[in-house]
Structure 1
Amino acid sequence: MTQLATERISVALTCRVLKLCRQQYYRWLASPVTPAEWDQAHRANALFDAHRDDPEFGYRYLHDEAGAAGVSMSARTAWKLCSTNAWWSSFGKKRGRNGKKPGPPVHDDRLATTDEHGVTRHEFVADHPNEVWLSDITEHWTNEGKLYLCAVKDVCSGRIVGYSISDRMKSSLAVAALDSAVARRRSDGADVAGCIIHTDRGSQFRSRSFVHAINRHGLAGSMGRVGAAGDNAAMESFFALLQKNVLDRQSWATQEELRIAIVTWIERTYHRRRRQDRLGRLTPIEFETIMTTAVELAA
């Protein structure tokens, strides 16, 4: 209609031919985007931001995250917007032939080495603390639902330098674990800049917030291959110990009960009482104390 108006055809005549109401046209001209459309765009933007941060979330979790961000809507509206834009959980069932594959790495694999036979392996070796860290997430059921643990392990000493526990497996779980590791090391006077943090390709570790946390702390990200459990075997060995010594020892009634048990085992038993052969039968805390003393004497 605007184009016809530029050709000197009156709006009244155009509306009469097209059987349109002039009042409706002028209302649209004054406000091309209706308040309802504007609200819908804000809702879609909030859902998209939540999906980009945590690609494993389904529409129900995205609906919760949008509400927490101050953008309210019904669950039905959230489902409709997610369905229209194909914002499906990366852990959900595949839809047709276009099901999502595991996401691409956001970092190079800095720990992989290839031998003379062309076989790629990983060397989880570090001569000093804060050279290489590993991180992963494990989960366990309680009567109140699942509890998730994200831990950060120093390859040199085997110490769990940081961890975070939550009832939601969000990217913030991984970010909190990394932040706690950096804070603990810096409180001890250590410089963690340049330390490699190696993870798998879980969506929490590929999230924008986790990548920003790595850059903010001056760390170097590293990411293993898809579906290769051995790429993070050193971290999984710790989780196997945790499974055997804590998680599977009893059924857990509450999440808080399990949370306390995990923290107690890490800080009291694993760090200070469990001796490791590769550390010369020392505990992680003893090993780091001796190494720190040796460095200070050498200086």
Structure 2
Amino acid sequence: WVSDITYVGKRTNPSYLALITDAYSKKIVGYNVSNSLSVQGSLKALDMALKNRYYKEQPLIHHSDRGLQYCSNDYQELLDKNGIKASMTEKYDPYENAVAERINGILKQEFNIAKYEANLKIKKQIINESIKIYNQERPHLSNHMLTPNQMHKQSKVEMKTYKSKKLNNEVIVQL
């Protein structure tokens, strides 16, 4: 799983969206919208992700930036209690958490979740509906044009392959 918190709304009325995304399927498995950057929003997103977890017997790594929420004792204890290994970026470089940052970008650019000047209740409704559409209806090229839900429910791992741009020496790179 990859996690991040992103700013939602205008500076005059900020809210914060804590997201947990399955890195393989790009499915958002847990989220929370709140008016605070406290650890509670991140813990609620993690609780949701844990309740939605399909493959509980499989090992799991939780990757995040080094935000105070993810470094908190409460957050680390909940990961440990559920047998989840914590991984964090080494620096504050967004490229070290690229999948999480990309999901933030999709929600903000395609679903416009950050542009509304609304109260928290309305923001939660907008984000809930956007995530539902994102998970159920929006295909990803990196998912072989499957939606995150379709990719998440596969019984086998399908790795995305990319062809080299060299035309005379065609090379397949397996990721």
How do 1:63-78 residues align onto structure 2 when only pairs under 5 Å count? none
Asked if 1:270 corresponds to 2:134, the answer is yes
Taking the aligned partners of 2:41 and 2:10, their CA distance within structure 1 comes to: 18
How do 1:116-265 residues align onto structure 2 when only pairs under 5 Å count? 133-142=1-10, 145-185=13-53, 188=54, 190-191=55-56, 194-244=59-109, 245-248=111-114, 250-265=115-130
Greater helix content: 1
How far has the Cα of 1:234 moved from its partner? 0.8
Q: Extract unaligned runs of 5+ from structure 2.
A: 158-175
Letter in 2 for 1:247: I
Taking the aligned partners of 1:161 and 1:192, their CA distance within structure 2 comes to: 17
Q: Is the 8 A contact 1:149 1:164 kept in 2?
A: yes
1:190-248, CA deviations, whole angstroms, 9 ceiling, x for partnerless residues? 21553000011111111111111111111000010222111001110000111112224
**RMSD of the TM alignment (CA)?**
1.9
How far has the Cα of 1:252 moved from its partner? 2.0
Larger relative contact order (C-alpha < 8 A, sep ≥ 6)? Answer: 2
Taking the aligned partners of 1:194 and 1:251, their CA distance within structure 2 comes to: 39
How far has the Cα of 1:164 moved from its partner? 1.4
* Structure number with bigger Rg: 1
How far has the Cα of 1:286 moved from its partner? 1.5
TM-score, scaled relative to structure 2: 0.82
| Percent identity over paired residues | 27
TM-score, scaled relative to structure 1: 0.49
1:62-104, CA deviations, whole angstroms, 9 ceiling, x for partnerless residues? xxxxxxxxxxxxxxxxxxxxxxxxxxxxxxxxxxxxxxxxxxx
1:79 is aligned to none
Q: Is the 8 A contact 2:15 2:36 kept in 1?
A: yes
